[in-house]
Amino acid sequence: MKYLQNAWIERTTMHLHRLLSRIGNGHFNIGVGRWEIYNVMKLKRLIEQVLYRMQDALRDLLLDSTAAYVHYLVNDCSAVLAIEGEDYSWDGNLIDSPFEPQRPAVFYLLLEMGPDMPYYSTAPDTFPETLRDILDDILRECHFIHTIEPSLMQSLIFAENLYLSSVGLLDCAIVKQREALVEYYHKALLPLQAYAARYAAYRELFFTNVKEFVEQIKNADKSSSEIKEDIAFQIRMRENLEHTVPLCIVIGPFWINVQPLREALIRKRQELTAALLKMLTEKLRIKTADVITCYNAINERMCEKPVSIEHIYDIRAYMEAVPELVVRLEDRMRGILYEYEILEGFLHNLPDADFQQKWNALAYPRSVLKQMVSVKEFHESEVDRFRKQQFADEAAFTASIEDINAYISKFTTLYDVSKVSEMSVEVRRLWKTVQELIDQGHIMNRRQELFEMAPISLNNLYELRSNFSAYRELWTVAADYLKLEETWIGNPLASVDLDGVRRGLQQTHDSLKDLLPLFRDQPQLLVVVEHFIQAVEAFRPNLDIMELLKCPYLEAIHWGQLAKEIGVKGKLSVDVGFDVFLDHGFRDHLETVRRVVVKAEQLRLEQEARWAEEERIRQIEEAYRRARAQRRQNRTEI
């Protein structure tokens, strides 16, 4: 266009100027300055002839260029021109194009995947209008090519808008070319868009998140066989992509590059396959590690250092079940090996650590059975060591029995009632020692049986415990009673449970009574039992005074009256301990206390009767007021 508007005009003008300037004055004088002379000169007719030829050349150029432009863009694809209607769908495969043109494609498009649908790097809808606008813009530009007259005849004055006549936008040839171009590209858009729509089926795959996909498989808790099917499916789908999605395809005037999208889809299938293989590898790693843990537990249990002969026999009993445990673990490992074959079937290489773990698990059964032989040999030497230890323990046990027997024989001659607490503590300690010796004897007899030796007699210990039980019962019952009595007397009277006191007295009395026949041949201890029985009987009268003092109707005025009549200086209440009342001799004033309590109960009964009468009168008055209010309401309504 720059050539037509500038260089073409300048060169034509210079060529004419050079030729005409040589002629000089006359009919071809380019220096004429008067219009009336110029109009009758042969020069004017020459310039008009040049103008017509330039316009013919320009028109021919535009028609030829337009035809070449359309011919280049419309690359003779008869299948595109044969499309009828706007509802075209791509029904064939994605590789073979039914729209192969006779000449090469004109435009390059890249097929990409969007969140909603596939799309092209350049919107196809813009092609018809853009190509038409380019054609029209060129034609419009050709309407502004100046004539040569103003630049050749410089002595004359011309208008500024003198242009060569060009081809119009509505010229029949131009209209025909334009319509052919627009129609071709409008129809070419239909298969182009239909082809892109076919790739919508791959949108879900394209945007699949590999981590989320694997988590879904894990949450589904699929078996290895199901995971195998998933892996095989991903491989089949990848191979299907390789055979069904092309690298590129030509549709009419468009050359479409599908390779980046194809590679992305194939890569996503490969990533999903690799993720599933990795997940299966991790699953098998956990299963294999669990089997190895079981083998290690068996080894640890067998290799425990025995601390006694019982421990050895426990380990031996466990070892009898080890072969069966090993067989079960081997069966488990065979099932896991089948799952490993799934990985091998997909030519998946295990990591070095997993590979080593797998073969360790396969080698463990032989290792465990070999370890059993070593453990049995070790136990033989340990049995000899524990047998020697048993002899030493038996001698020490016999000496302990003799010592405790001598100590108890001496201790049971003590009968000082003033040392009840110390006696009960020592009795409990001795009883515990005897019981521990009996338990130790049972343990030693079990060991004697394991060593195939004669049992140790425990009859003397049983006899010692039987003889000592009555002595233990005496001092423990006495000590427990003294603690209870101290609690009953020392705690606030309000917190003392009289029923609990009665039960405690009766139980202590019954226990001591049962001991009397046992100590009939031991006068000193019989005196001790009778002493505590008398102590229990001596406390019983306190129950009556305690029950009276805990009367709920006693108020401050009554406590003051009691203090005054009995001669107590100080404030009395149910919140003080019973020892205070004993110190002031309340046991000697039982009738006085009973009289005050009876009076307090009578006052309470009179007060309750008065309250009941007042409540009855209040209810009568309330009923009367309600009845009067009802009568007033009835009169108001009338």
Q: How far apart are CA 382 and CA 449, in angstroms?
A: 17
Q: Which of 180, 199, 218 is the last residue of a domain?
A: 199
Angle at which helix 352-411 crosses helix 309-320, to 10 degrees, equals: 140
Same domain? 534 vs 567: no
Q: pLDDT value at position 570?
A: 63
pLDDT digits (tens, 9 = 90+) for 513-570: 877 887 777 777 777 778 888 888 877 877 777 777 676 666 666 666 666 677 666 6
Beta-strand pair 118-120/254-257: unpaired
* CA–CA separation, 73 and 366 (whole Å): 80
Distance CA 159, CA 171 (A): 27
CATH of the domain at 354: 1.20.58
> What is the C-alpha separation between 3 and 10, in angstroms, rounded?
9
Of residues 168 and 498, more confidence is placed in 498
pLDDT at 423: 79
Query: Among residues 109, 128, 146, which one has the least CA distance to residue 250?
Result: 109
Question: Would you state the pLDDT for residue 270?
Answer: 92
pLDDT in tens, 145-191: 667 777 766 767 777 776 666 776 777 888 888 888 888 888 888 99
Shared domain check, 534 and 559: no
Average pLDDT over residues 358-366: 88
Look up tokens 């302990």; give the residue.
400
Band the pLDDT of 221: cuts 50, 70, 90: confident
Establish if 408 belongs to a structural domain.
Answer: no
| Section 627-637 average pLDDT | 79
pLDDT band at 638 (very low <50, low <70, confident <90, very high): low
Residue 206 lies in a domain: no
The torsion angles phi and psi of 90, rounded to 5 degrees, stand at -85, 105
DSSP string, 245-258: S-SEEEETTEEEE-
Mean pLDDT of 230-243: 90
Residue owning tokens 């990591």:
351
Least confident of 159-163, 227-231, 400-404, 519-523: 159-163
Task: For residue 379, tell me if it sits in a domain.
Answer: yes
- pLDDT above 70: residue 618: yes
Q: Are both 52 and 171 inside the same structural domain?
A: yes
Quote the pLDDT of residue 108. 92
* Any domain includes 386: yes
Q: What is the pLDDT of residue 162?
A: 67
Residues 383 and 452 in one domain: no
Are 185 and 281 in the same domain?
no
Q: Say yes or no: 581 and 608 in one domain.
A: yes
With a CB cutoff of 8 Å and minimum separation 6, the contacts of 247 are 257, 258, 259, 262
Mean pLDDT score of the chain = 80
Say what the pLDDT of residue 243 is.
92
CA trace torsion 73, 77, 83, 86 (10° rounding): -30
Same domain, 470 and 505: yes
Q: Is the pLDDT of residue 590 over 70?
A: no
Residue 476 is predicted with a pLDDT of: 80
- Check whether 589 has a pLDDT greater than 70: no
Q: Which amino acid is at 546?
A: M
- Taking only the tens place, the pLDDT of each residue in 27-63 is 666 667 777 777 777 877 877 787 878 788 778 878 8
489 and 342 in a single domain? The answer is: no
Residue 138: the pLDDT is 80
Q: Both 173 and 138 in a single domain?
A: yes
pLDDT at residue 408, as a whole number: 75
Q: Give the structural domain span for 505.
A: 440-540
pLDDT for residue 627: 81
For the cut 60, the answer to whether the pLDDT of residue 1 exceeds it is no
Cβ–Cβ contacts within 10 Å for residue 400, how many? 16
What percent of the residues of the chain are helix, what percent strand, and what percent coil, each to the nearest 5? 75, 5, 20
- Whether residue 247 is contained in a domain is answered as no
Residue 76 lies in a domain: yes
Domain edge (last residue) among 147, 170, 199: 199
Residues 558 and 506 in one domain: no
Percent of the chain with pLDDT over 70: 86
* Residues 577 and 637 both lie in one domain: yes
- Output the pTM of the full model: 0.58
Between 269 and 540, residue with greater pLDDT = 269
What share of the chain has pLDDT > 90, as a percent?
Answer: 8
Q: Is residue 499 part of a domain?
A: yes
Structure confidence at residue 168 (pLDDT): 66
Summarised one tens digit per residue, pLDDT across range 73-124 is: 887 787 887 788 778 888 888 888 888 888 888 889 999 999 889 999 988 8
HSE (CB half, 13 Å, CA atoms) of 319? Answer: 21
Is 414 inside any structural domain?
Answer: no
The pLDDT confidence band at residue 584, using thresholds 50, 70 and 90, is low
- Looking at the structure of the chain, the number of domains it has is 4
- Residue 219 confidence (pLDDT) above 80: yes
Q: What is the spatial distance between Cα 88 and Cα 189, in angstroms, rounded to a whole number?
A: 10
State the average pLDDT over residues 202-212: 90
Which pLDDT value is given to residue 378?
Answer: 81
Q: What totals of helices (H) and strands (E) does the chain contain, helices first?
A: 23, 4
> In 240-299, which ranges are E strands?
248-251, 254-257
Q: Are residues 188 and 53 in the same domain?
A: yes
Residue 182 host element (H or E): helix 172-198
pLDDT at 73: 83
Taking residues 417-437, what's their average pLDDT?
Answer: 81
- Give the pLDDT of residue 511: 80
Lowest-confidence region among 204-218, 523-537, 570-584: 570-584
